[in-house]
Structure 1
């Protein structure tokens, strides 16, 4: 076996290792967020057999990106924001859309700063929260910025004006954006052409699942969704780590919750027996929990970008690393009487795309 063959075998082995670790991290993340082992396990299986599996099984960047993203999300929901930032930044090294993972940090920073400023009345704490969140977000963006700087200094710096490419003269010279727009025709509504209809049809299943995932969550939790979580109850915010991640915030809120519960019990005791009603649970488990909100918002942004800006057929693998796609699909399968046969449709879709992708991609035909 020559050097090239040995290198290819080793790369394939590392790729499969990354794919296996992706499933492990997806399972850990799903267990924490959904708090339902059955739905979490099914979601993990759906990920392992997702429609873009051919890209996870070939020498491609998808498995590495998903591995780093899921690892970052796991540490994010566990409260380890520094480790999460590191993995998010590394995911940006694997694929440029890794910078979007900074949105999770921004979401949490926004809520923690709001809590510190308006509920705890601690301006210094709010300022420190914003600064820490901004630094972590900048760190996530660092690989993308470094790549743009590398391109600028190699292709623009020290060149004569006549030798400069158009993007070098831009106010903000971005090599990545220029390549995407000039050579690939990527841009807002640029792909909306009649000849691209087959590609829209190719991407329609995953975009439909993404759309239903977002819309169904918004319809079930409209107050939580449209307020970006600001109208979520204190009890629900305190039950997870997405909104208020550290022990100080949780202990602070725990005291407030206890005082609130005491007040409620006092009112019930003083009221008439006939007026006592069973209250709704403070938190909603599974796909409709408040902790799922930042994931749904992230998916909504990615799906909109894929549909309106990108080559739409790329959506199949672009959205393959988004957890809500699998969480919502698993939720549907957990309620077969309510969503008759949709579970079979999802499995059939995954199997068909795995088979189709294996044939087309390995023979250099366009798939996604």
Structure 2
């Protein structure tokens, strides 16, 4: 709560920021939780819209991406008592600020994200890429700065970028580190007493609380989830995995392709860091996690799957005079011009939203 209030004072006012933090406060009021989480989802949608507009400079594509996020297959988890909507807002808005080079605001929201969900520490890759790797590629590899000759200006600029990246990285992993330190002090007791707490964990080289709980109580580990009885859950996650990998493949192929005619919209800009980020999340989920949660894991952590969905739809929308569905009659007309690939995508989203809502509210397992 203190971190939220501090963030609220520091950040400038924006529509998505107001929605998210006001609704976070509303979550503490009895009887208003469902409204709160629904409005938090609106905050994440607004943040994704602004991020897409910032990256692609295309309002039409930004709207389609926001619509895809509104009706994403894990939508039910963005509207109930889960952290997905708040986490998605923090990540997307932090990326907006990072694209704008507002590093302080970006750092605070990345910190808030890692305080909300442990996988937020993976977001440290964004400042490292934007501040260091991209700087090296643009200025050193292309010969704009001559570090090899030890020019003072070159060294100073590179050192500044490196220091900024280190500070942001340390700040992002700080909440995760604090939680682990508190857990260690609370459950391990006297570190010199070998009988205190869980000896295997307390006396390990790097005692990570979350990993220990997942391994001991949830059976999470490398390929541990793959059992015959888990096949239905694995199938449940396949569409999200396929959608993500399809987008990754299309982007990577576009890098080496000489023709622009068949490129998806998502490949029209340099989003390499976003591709690496989502690819890591997807592979990590496949190898180490309960596979069925990949859908909400990826849709709440990365804008990439919504960009892929919007790109697929955009390909067909370019063939019509309709910018995007804005009424029932318009939607019917658009459905008529969609190719089978786009129709399958819409059916996937609609089916998972409908079935997921029915199952989840009746306490039945879903993604």
Q: TM-score, with normalisation over the residues of structure 1?
A: 0.78
Match of 1:287 among 255, 260, 266: 266
Does the alignment pair 1:13 with 2:35? yes
Q: For residues 117 and 213 of structure 1, what CA distance do their matches in structure 2 show?
A: 30
Q: For residues 310 and 182 of structure 2, what CA distance do their matches in structure 1 show?
A: 43
1:332: Cα distance to partner?
1.0
Q: Which stretches in structure 2 are left out of the alignment for 5+ residues?
A: 1-26, 147-153, 320-336
Taking the TM superposition and a 5 Å limit, the aligned residue runs for 1:256-267 are none
Match of 1:163 among 193, 196, 211: 196
1:117: Cα distance to partner?
5.2
Answer 1 or 2: higher relative contact order, Cα 8 Å, separation at least 6: 1
Cα pair 1:34 1:285 within 8 Å, conserved: no
The aligned residue for residue 305 of structure 1 is 284
Q: For residues 358 and 139 of structure 1, what CA distance do their matches in structure 2 show?
A: 37
Runs of 4+, deviation exceeding 6 Å = none
Q: For residues 245 and 264 of structure 2, what CA distance do their matches in structure 1 show?
A: 21
Q: For residues 264 and 47 of structure 2, what CA distance do their matches in structure 1 show?
A: 20
1:280: Cα distance to partner?
9.4
The aligned residue for residue 232 of structure 1 is none
1:346: Cα distance to partner?
1.2
Q: For residues 301 and 162 of structure 1, what CA distance do their matches in structure 2 show?
A: 38
The aligned residue for residue 151 of structure 1 is 183
Match of 1:327 among 307, 310, 321: 307
The aligned residue for residue 137 of structure 1 is 169
Cα pair 1:21 1:67 within 8 Å, conserved: yes
Match of 2:66 among 40, 44, 47: 44
The aligned residue for residue 103 of structure 1 is 125
The aligned residue for residue 212 of structure 1 is 246
1:290: Cα distance to partner?
4.0
Cα pair 1:113 1:127 within 8 Å, conserved: no
Cα pair 1:214 1:296 within 8 Å, conserved: yes
Q: CA 1:141/1:301 → structure 2, altered by over 3 Å: closer, same or farther?
A: same
Q: For residues 353 and 280 of structure 1, what CA distance do their matches in structure 2 show?
A: 35
Q: For residues 101 and 160 of structure 2, what CA distance do their matches in structure 1 show?
A: 17
Q: For residues 139 and 157 of structure 2, what CA distance do their matches in structure 1 show?
A: 6
Cα pair 2:189 2:196 within 8 Å, conserved: no
Cα pair 2:237 2:291 within 8 Å, conserved: yes
How many residues matched? 307
> Deviations along 1:260-281, whole A, 9 cap, x unmatched?
xxxxxxxxxxxxxxxxxxx999
Cα pair 1:189 1:308 within 8 Å, conserved: yes
Cα pair 1:29 1:73 within 8 Å, conserved: yes
Does the alignment pair 1:184 with 2:206? no
Cα pair 1:117 1:123 within 8 Å, conserved: no
Match of 1:199 among 214, 233, 236: 233
Cα pair 2:278 2:304 within 8 Å, conserved: yes
Cα pair 1:35 1:285 within 8 Å, conserved: no
Q: Could you say what secondary structure the match of 1:158 adopts?
A: coil
Q: For residues 277 and 287 of structure 2, what CA distance do their matches in structure 1 show?
A: 16
1:95: Cα distance to partner?
0.8
Q: Could you say what secondary structure the match of 1:360 adopts?
A: helix
Q: CA 1:286/1:364 → structure 2, altered by over 3 Å: closer, same or farther?
A: same
Does the alignment pair 1:72 with 2:113? no
Q: CA 1:105/1:222 → structure 2, altered by over 3 Å: closer, same or farther?
A: farther
Taking the TM superposition and a 5 Å limit, the aligned residue runs for 1:229-240 are none
> Deviations along 1:23-55, whole A, 9 cap, x unmatched?
111111111212222222111101001111111
Q: For residues 311 and 6 of structure 1, what CA distance do their matches in structure 2 show?
A: 30
1:87: Cα distance to partner?
0.5
1:11: Cα distance to partner?
2.4
Taking the TM superposition and a 5 Å limit, the aligned residue runs for 1:56-71 are 56-71=78-93
Aligned-residue RMSD, C-alpha: 2.3
